[in-house]
Amino acid sequence: MTERSERLRAAIKTKDGWFARTFSAKLANKFVSLVGDTAVTPNQVTLFALFVALVASYLMFTMEPIPLIVGSILLQIAFILDCADGQLARFKGVGSAIGGWLDQVADRIREFFLVLALIWGYYLVTDDVTIWPLGFAAFFLLFMLEYYSQMNCQIPDPVRDEDEADSGSDEEFEAFEGAIDRIMPLAGFRMGEQLFFFTLFGIIAGVTGDPVWIKYLIIFVVLLGGAHLLYRPYRRLKAYYSSLPKDEAA
């Protein structure tokens, strides 16, 4: 393996959602391989990813079948580019605080306009006012989930060791909790998984020609996001207290 190949592989984030790890990050790495030795900068990729996402949001806003399908696909392209900006920064060794800030701002702008486009577009074609509180709830939950992700570095990941269980009931609980952690998408529901479902429901809405799938998407995000709003703090705090010495944790 060449030095360049090693740098490319090292540019991929090791800790990320299942969708990013298995799909988006690999495609982003191929993109980085193409532009890594050019004058293209990570910040330029970030801004282009945002532009693609805004175009996707506008297309999905129309609630027309073909634009819904095209917009949904563009969402995935935007996310691949979003993965690529960080990889490009690591590959070139030019990571910076301003680059990280710009990436976070671009992500929040994308989330806002995507959710707004979907609920506004759905309302215009259905006159269903219930989409507004659902949409704002979805946006709030997406924001909170990202906040949790940013705070994860403050609390260690759970360490599961069945040998440390004190009783059979504890072992059963640990096994149950571990099974929950492995369920997709409950294991993370990070940005990649979120956009996967936006893409999936958007394509279904386009193929069927029925915008009600957009409402189903928003309801799905609210339900799953709400579950994570409760589950993530519990999981992280449990990990934190389990990492403390027994006398200190008590």
Q: What would the mean pLDDT of 194-215 be, rounded to a whole number?
A: 95
Identify which has the larger pLDDT, 14 or 208.
208
Least confident of 41-50, 138-147, 234-243: 234-243
Q: How far apart are CA 157 and CA 178, in angstroms?
A: 13
Query: Is residue 158 left, alpha or beta, with left meaning phi > 0 and alpha meaning psi from -120 to 50?
Result: beta
Q: What are phi and psi of 32, to 5 degrees?
A: -65, -35
Q: How far apart are CA 6 and CA 51, in angstroms?
A: 31
Is a pLDDT exceeding 60 seen at residue 77?
A: yes
Q: How far apart are CA 161 and CA 4, in angstroms?
A: 38
Instruction: State pTM to two decimals.
Output: 0.81
Is a pLDDT exceeding 80 seen at residue 19?
A: no
The secondary structure of the chain as a DSSP string is --HHHHHHHHTS-SS--HHIIIIIHHHHHHHHHHHTTSS--HHHHHHHHHHHHHHHHHHHHT--HHHHHHHHHHHHHHHHHHHHHHHHHHHHT---HHHHHHHHHHHHHHHHHHHHHHHHHHHHHH--TTHHHHHHHHHHHHHHHHHHHHHGGGSPPP---GGG--SHHHHHHHHHHHHHHHSTTTTT--HHHHHHHHHHHHHHHHHHT-THHHHHHHHHHHHHHHHHHHHHHHHHHHHHHHHS-HHHH-
Q: How many residues does the chain have?
A: 250
pLDDT tens figures, 84-132: 998 898 888 888 888 888 998 999 999 999 999 999 999 999 999 999 9
Identify which has the larger pLDDT, 135 or 178.
135
Q: How far apart are CA 225 and CA 30, in angstroms?
A: 31
The closest alpha carbon to 217, from 195, 245, 188, 192, belongs to 195
Predicted confidence band at 11 (pLDDT cuts at 50, 70, 90)? confident
The helix-helix angle for 25-35 and 3-10 (nearest 10°) equals 140
Burial class (CB in 10 A: 0-12, 13-18, 19+), 102: middle
Q: What would the mean pLDDT of 166-187 be, rounded to a whole number?
A: 49
Is a pLDDT exceeding 60 seen at residue 178?
A: no
CATH code linked to domain 3-249: 1.20.120.1760
Is a pLDDT exceeding 80 seen at residue 18?
A: no
Question: Where do the domains of the chain lie?
Answer: 3-249
Q: What would the mean pLDDT of 192-212 be, rounded to a whole number?
A: 94
Predicted confidence band at 204 (pLDDT cuts at 50, 70, 90)? very high
Q: How far apart are CA 200 and CA 217, in angstroms?
A: 9
Q: How far apart are CA 17 and CA 79, in angstroms?
A: 12
Mean pLDDT of the chain: 82
